[in-house]
Structure 1
Amino acid sequence: MRDVMFGTTTKTPLNDTCPDFDPTAGELFETIGDHPGVISILVVCTIITIIECILFCEAAHYVASTIPYTDRRNCIIWILGIYPVFCLTSLLGLYIPRSAVLCNLTASVYFSVCLYQFFVLIIDYYGGHDSILLQMSNIEVSLRSPPIGCFFPCLPTFKMTEKNLLRIKIAVFQCALIRPFVLFVTEVLWLNGTYVPGSLASDEAFLYVNIITLTSTIIAIYAFIMFYRASREPLHGFKLTPKFIVVQLALICSNIQIIFLGILVLTDVIPCDDPFPTDSRHNRWQCLILTLESAIIFPFVLKFFRTRNGNIVSILGNGRVKEIKEGASLLRKSYSSSSISGNTYVTL
């Protein structure tokens, strides 16, 4: 018999009374009075989302009016939007339970684009493509970086050449391309009824979608960590470490956390009980947890990205601007007409 609030019941190995469908929005609000836990969750998450959206609008206006460099300004605004977008997509997933899968995937896609935007932002901190090659020409970039290379201490180091920089760019950018494609395929399979969230059976698309997602994400973050570790010293005036941490936390929260929630649901560690008593409850738990995490982390995002301190820095020295090769344009005026050697950092 169909439960109006929580969908059609089905039998599972761990729980023979757990409904297999989330309720529609109409069904949710018809019986929401019987579920005070759901009311509390919706109220708290709505308040958090409204506050974060207001703070994001203010921060975006501040950045647009105080950061003079267009590329840098755009990248920072993209990154500032990570956690507000997480809140918005999660809130939709809570109000419209059957959209939770799509909402979580959309949040993950947005983050994939922002990961590349953060990579572009670091290049902009250097002063552009030519400048990064000059400043990193004597830096050894180690392949022994987490989350992959740290298990292989025999891996060598390499110099940052134009070809190697291109390889790192591709490794990061592929995540921003593959994730939307995987989302499109997932939507098609979901509408066709062949995508069952949480099912790890070998004949189910869910398993392979997550393998592709994890592989793409790990490759991107591996390349990014290599680049970040090599950039800490040259860009010490830009406060790169805390910025990197808040972006890494977004990666864990949006792409990796939901997989562990799915495993906890499959093993019945998260029982089929209020406030989300359905087989696909891990998607709605992800929406709730992601909203609460965003409320905690977003103030730190504002602290390090909504500011001129650490985002507008000139690289000063003695002499004239060095050019990488014949015909290369001068480094951006914001970085002064000076030599890159003997850098000191001055916040404007």
Structure 2
Amino acid sequence: MPVNIENSTTVSQKQDFMDLIYDTAVKLISGTFLNCSHNPVEIPKSGDFLSKLDTTYLLALIICSVICIITVIMCLIHVSYVYIYVTNSNRRFFILYLAGTAPFCSIAALGAMIAPRIWFLSHILSFFYFSIGLWLIICLMMHIVEGRQAVVKKMSEKNSKINLQTPPFCCVFPCLPKFSMETKKIRILEAMVFQSPCIRLIATLLSLALAFEDPLGSGVALKIIDFLTLPSLLLGIYGCHILVTTISKLEELMPFRYIAVFRILDIFFMFYGTQQPVFDFIARIGVFKCGNILPPLESAFFWKNALIVIESFIVSLISTILLKPSRSALFDKYPSVRSVVSSTIEKS
């Protein structure tokens, strides 16, 4: 009998432990550790929210509005330079889209700060914009190096191989092999990148349908969709890194400062992608207390969007400094660039 009692106690403890883990997981995914039932706050409409702003929220909104305006002004300057100094229409389109990443995210984030109910729309649209940017930055690189066959020819002359030891899987599989350069393999890598915006488009449309159909009860379903599309995103990023790591060794890319363009987008995307789950997590564990203006989760996303506005400004500023026409051969009509490009061609 004592043995049976001891065994039943152990089983009961294990069951209690499993129940605790389950309840904790549910709270982290769809609930919260905070109990705000004594002062429940619904997500306000933009008009009600703006009329109840305290000093902290008002100051943050004013500062972010000014920063967003400056970011948009810098974007307009970038656009004017692209139209004036970039000859090829395809290259111009690629550069314009990539140059619009920071202002697009800034405007979307500021809109979500003003209207808290649209934070989800702001997030998924910006994420979709980024996923297209991954594909277009590969298109820009292939346009600069004049296509797949030219890449294979030039890389084969140098006996270069396709290196699979790149993020995000280089640390997980350190013994990945290297492959010879072939047009077919480049097409496969391009398809890895291209599938990401395609899957993201489907996920975006499905998420919007669920959010509009059931704004309050679709939280878990939206997280499941995000989780299911994660392998597609990682595969796209992986293919993008393989292509850039392999092809960026060509001397033709040096005067274009292509690596700077790629790193700016890559790091910006990394910060943007990690902030959403981080702020979601810290809001659910109770870092953002029960407030009088916004619920804890929406309060967390307000400050996350404020951070995105600041990051977008920094990205635009860095892009302005590193990629000004006098430094990058992307602006082929700029006077000082022609001599740089011609000297590079002569050396190669």
Q: TM-score range by the shorter chain?
A: 0.7 to 0.9
Instruction: Give yes or no for the alignment of 1:240 onto 2:243.
Output: no
With 60-69 and 228-237 compared, the bigger mean Cα shift is at: 228-237
Q: Residue 307 of structure 1: SS of its match in structure 2?
A: coil
Q: Residue 296 of structure 2: SS of its match in structure 1?
A: coil
Q: Identity percentage over the alignment?
A: 22
CA offset at residue 50 of structure 1?
Answer: 1.1
Is the 2:248–2:259 contact (alpha carbons within 8 Å) kept by the matching residues of 1?
A: yes
CA offsets 1:233-265 (integer angstroms, 9 cap, x no match): 213333233222211122123322211211111
Is the 1:112–1:176 contact (alpha carbons within 8 Å) kept by the matching residues of 2?
A: yes
- Quickly say closer, same or farther: Cα 1:271–1:252, change in 2 above 3 A: farther
Report what 1:267 is aligned to: 285
Equivalences for 1:125-144 in 2 at 5 Å? 125-137=144-156, 138-144=159-165
* Equivalent of residue 15 in structure 1, options 11, 32, 35: 35
Report what 2:12 is aligned to: none
Q: Residue 179 of structure 2: SS of its match in structure 1?
A: strand
Q: Residue 14 of structure 1: SS of its match in structure 2?
A: coil
Structure 2 residue runs without a partner (length 5+): 1-30, 333-340
Equivalent position amino acid for 1:157 in 2: K
CA offset at residue 19 of structure 1?
Answer: 4.3
Is the 2:44–2:294 contact (alpha carbons within 8 Å) kept by the matching residues of 1?
A: no
* Equivalent of residue 77 in structure 1, options 79, 89, 96: 96
Report what 1:124 is aligned to: 143
Equivalences for 1:1-348 in 2 at 5 Å? 12-17=32-37, 19=40, 21-32=42-53, 35-137=54-156, 138-193=159-214, 204-234=220-250, 235-273=253-291, 276-307=294-325, 309-312=327-330, 344=347
Distance, in Å, in 1 between the alignment partners of 2:68 and 2:90 is 27
- Quickly say closer, same or farther: Cα 1:343–1:229, change in 2 above 3 A: farther
Distance, in Å, in 1 between the alignment partners of 2:331 and 2:213 is 52
- The answer to which structure has the higher helix fraction is 2
Is the 1:20–1:280 contact (alpha carbons within 8 Å) kept by the matching residues of 2?
A: no
CA offsets 1:137-188 (integer angstroms, 9 cap, x no match): 3311111211113321221111221111111111111121111211111111
CA offset at residue 76 of structure 1?
Answer: 0.8
Distance, in Å, in 1 between the alignment partners of 2:263 and 2:300 is 25
CA offsets 1:102-149 (integer angstroms, 9 cap, x no match): 011111111111121111111112122332222223311111211113
CA offsets 1:209-248 (integer angstroms, 9 cap, x no match): 2213432221111111111111232133332332222111
Distance, in Å, in 2 between the alignment partners of 1:276 and 1:194 is 16
Tell me which structure has the larger Cα radius of gyration: 2
Is the 2:164–2:170 contact (alpha carbons within 8 Å) kept by the matching residues of 1?
A: yes
Equivalent position amino acid for 1:263 in 2: F
CA offsets 1:258-305 (integer angstroms, 9 cap, x no match): 112111112223434477543333332321110011122211122334
Q: Residue 175 of structure 1: SS of its match in structure 2?
A: helix
Is the 1:94–1:284 contact (alpha carbons within 8 Å) kept by the matching residues of 2?
A: yes
CA offset at residue 14 of structure 1?
Answer: 2.2
CA offsets 1:288-332 (integer angstroms, 9 cap, x no match): 110011122211122334425333499xxxxxxxxxxxxxxxxxx
Distance, in Å, in 2 between the alignment partners of 1:95 and 1:156 is 50
Is the 2:164–2:178 contact (alpha carbons within 8 Å) kept by the matching residues of 1?
A: yes
With 264-273 and 305-314 compared, the bigger mean Cα shift is at: 305-314
With 212-221 and 99-108 compared, the bigger mean Cα shift is at: 212-221
Distance, in Å, in 2 between the alignment partners of 1:27 and 1:112 is 34
- Quickly say closer, same or farther: Cα 1:282–1:29, change in 2 above 3 A: closer
Q: Residue 23 of structure 1: SS of its match in structure 2?
A: coil
Report what 1:331 is aligned to: none
Is the 2:46–2:114 contact (alpha carbons within 8 Å) kept by the matching residues of 1?
A: yes
Is the 1:38–1:275 contact (alpha carbons within 8 Å) kept by the matching residues of 2?
A: no
With 281-290 and 155-164 compared, the bigger mean Cα shift is at: 281-290
CA offset at residue 194 of structure 1?
Answer: 6.3
